[in-house]
Amino acid sequence: MVGVVLRDGPNRVFGQRALDSGYALVTVRCGIVVGSVLRREQLYRGGVNGTHNEVTEAVLRARRCFELGRTDQLGARRRSLKSLRRMLVEHEAEFASAVRADLGKSEQETGVMEISLVLGEISNALKRLRRWTRPHPVSVPVALWPGHAHLVAEPLGVVLILAPWNYPIQLLLAPLVGVLAAGNTAVLKPSSQTQQTMKLFTRLIPKYFPDDVVTIVDGDATRSDELLEQKFDHIIFTGSARVGRIVMRAAAEHLTPVTLELGGKSPAWFDDDRNLEQAARRIAWAKFSNSGQTCVAPDYVMTTPDRVDALAAALKDAIAELWGSDPKTNPDYGRIISSKHVDRLAGYLDGVRVVAGGDFERDARYMAPTVILVEAGRPVVGPGAAAAAMREEIFGPILPIVPVSSPREAVDAIHEFEKPLALYVFSSSRRTRTLFERATSSGSVVHGAGLIQLATTELPFGGIGGSGMGHYHGEFSFRTFSHLKPVLTKPQRPDTLRMVQPPYDHGWLTRAVEWVLRRG
């Protein structure tokens, strides 16, 4: 016997979460299907036996898992986080090999810049999850005494994670930590440009998450388009501003909130003469790791004209110290994602002075760590800049040095373009450091180093304006993927609300109540 049961509104069936009125619960007896959650229109087309494609089915499985309450309890969240940790640890060598095939990264770089950062996020979440999920009491105004209130962090539902190719492990799984910690289910879409890493995820995710807490969709950009047609409760996307706009438009159709990590031209300032060699080494490491294909890499560095030659020479020495005289033969130096991107990067070298590197091989997807000198025009940066490398995010191993007269002029240059994802300041002057902190707006400011903000779980990671919206990492991930629901309780006795209900006495009592309310 087969039975079909429909439920609308706030009804609870078999203890699952209350279903929105836009969904129906289908219960099929005889062990065929139990508790599938479908949209009404899909049910009318034939439900589980209809013609909806694999993408729709993946989202429906994630929705069903969430509505059945499999992710809500603290123990379930811990188990999911531990499954994610087990997957990374047990297959670390395979992940390193896949990333090596896709991007030419060394095992050590993948371990430090990707796997270890995700494992750190998991450890932090497991340590603090009980505190994060605990109801948070808040005060109520005197006028509502003896009422009391608290905030409850409840999961959003099904979260879509659209990951880029440049850090195919970290930028897919670091947001997932927060999604799972907050009690949601997730649909993952890795980049198809990192084929080997995507194939590995496609094989491992069903093994470590057989209960549909995490579902993965592979394929090219067409699959991403199909996913964006679905209804999600939150979308997090990392990538270009162009695609970010597409994601945001699609999300608007369903009024879905989004987190966008978009990158941009992150500037650096240098005037720390006493620490020239160390600063140059840190700038070079931050810029040329992953062959410059990092959203928070220094995109260009500004300094005063009298410092240009010394900084250029120090950067050239730093490159040789880090990757040798021929980085192409160094296994610690990666490759460009595609030959097409090599062509794009090579175009930035036309008409500029190359002071380090500059060689590239299209078929080998190789470009050497390259330093160029760019004359500062007006505007210094943005679509109207004279040098091609200063018009848009470089996203590759080319570092322009731009001479400007002073830190104030550097600040003015930063204001000429979108707010950057990061700003790096290498200065021994407190006044200069304070100037950049207060006179500019960016996703983050780092003094004396680059990239290291990514490894700090107590700091949020995210952009502002043209470099993105929203943030995650650590507790900020938990908050991003949770709804902080206010719960307010007002006892029936004493009935103090009677003082604000008609008929008003228009005397001292009304004036006293107004005075209390206005003071908060």
Contact 257, 237 (CB under 8 A): no
> Which residues, 6+ apart, have CB-to-CB distance to 442 below 8 Å?
266, 414, 419, 420, 421, 422, 423, 464, 467
Distances in whole angstroms, Cα of residue 507 to Cα of each of 402, 494, 498, 503: 70, 21, 15, 12
The neighbour count for residue 198, using CB atoms within 10 Å, is 24
Sign of the Cα pseudo-torsion (262, 387, 406, 315, in order)? positive
Contact 482, 155 (CB under 8 A): yes
Complete edge-to-edge strand list for the sheet that includes strand 185-189: 214-216, 185-189, 158-162, 234-238, 258-261, 468-469
Residue 291 token pair: 């062959």
Residue whose token pair is 């879905």: 256
Residue 403 β-bridge partners: 303
Interatomic CA distance for residues 132 and 152, integer angstroms = 10
Distances in whole angstroms, Cα of residue 375 to Cα of each of 271, 402, 405: 18, 6, 12
Distances in whole angstroms, Cα of residue 267 to Cα of each of 109, 112, 338: 24, 24, 25
The three-state secondary structure class of 165 is coil
Catalytic residues: 261, 295
> Which residues, 6+ apart, have CB-to-CB distance to 511 below 8 Å?
none
**DSSP secondary structure string for all residues of 325-357:** S-GGG-TTS---S-HHHHHHHHHTTTTSEEEE-
* CA-only gyration radius of the chain, Å: 27
Interatomic CA distance for residues 47 and 505, integer angstroms = 61
Interatomic CA distance for residues 55 and 65, integer angstroms = 16
